[in-house]
């Protein structure tokens, strides 16, 4: 069973009550969004709508966490939970719908200048694959340039992986 501490039957009504109480935008709201996103985690064959519903909670957590410096670490946590949730959709033919949400996750990490450059580079390469899957080749080319610059500046050891992705990108179309 998915969910916070593996207790979905307890977590769901507790979170529902918490959200109904109009909680303030603080760490508890952020953590509640992270729990709700995990509870909404669809099965591997989940629909696009199910994946997007779960992803929305992680995006809400990121928005709350970005506002308060003491919560910035939760932006990274939300990005990890997001990727865990959408992982079954991160494959050719299924990832096009992830462009908006993955772009927002990356934007949150970028705004805070998250120091885990490897993680950010990996997410950038995933977003590049999503652009390609969506057939957004102009966006893919522009984003490929930004990704190449980021990898070159911060994570040169990932350049072979990026190069391989770029080569395959031009073979697909």
Domain shared by 34 and 84, yes or no? yes
Quote the mean pLDDT of the chain.
Answer: 90
Helix (H) and strand (E) counts in the chain: 8, 0
pLDDT of 8 reads 66
Q: Give residue-wise pLDDT tens across range 1-50.
A: 444 455 667 888 889 999 998 899 999 999 999 999 999 887 776 788 88
Q: Does 173 reside within a domain?
A: yes
Q: Does 110 reside within a domain?
A: no
For 93, counting Cβ atoms within 10 Å of its Cβ (0-12 exposed, 13-18 middle, 19+ buried), the class is: exposed
For 78, counting Cβ atoms within 10 Å of its Cβ (0-12 exposed, 13-18 middle, 19+ buried), the class is: buried
Domain shared by 123 and 74, yes or no? no
Domain shared by 58 and 4, yes or no? yes
Q: How many domains does the chain contain in total?
A: 2
Domain shared by 90 and 121, yes or no? no
The span from the CA of 108 to the CA of 71, in Å, is 12
């Amino acid at each position: 069973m998915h969910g916070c501490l593996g207790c979905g039957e307890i977590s769901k009504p507790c979170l529902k009550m918490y959200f109904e109480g109009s909680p303030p935008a603080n760490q508890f709201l952020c953590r509640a969004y992270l729990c709700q996103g995990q509870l909404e985690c669809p099965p591997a064959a989940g629909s696009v709508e199910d994946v997007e519903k779960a992803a929305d909670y992680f995006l809400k957590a990121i928005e709350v966490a970005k506002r308060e410096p003491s919560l910035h670490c939760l932006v990274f946590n939300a990005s990890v939970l997001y990727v865990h949730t959408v992982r079954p959709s991160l494959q050719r033919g299924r990832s096009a719908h992830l462009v908006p949400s993955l772009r927002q996750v990356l934007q949150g990490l970028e705004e805070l200048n998250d120091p885990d450059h490897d993680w950010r580079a990996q997410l950038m390469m995933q977003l590049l694959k999503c652009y390609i899957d969506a057939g957004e080749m102009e966006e893919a080319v522009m984003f490929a340039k930004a990704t190449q610059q980021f990898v070159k500046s911060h994570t040169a050891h990932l350049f072979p992986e990026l190069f391989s992705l770029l080569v395959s990108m031009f073979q697909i179309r």
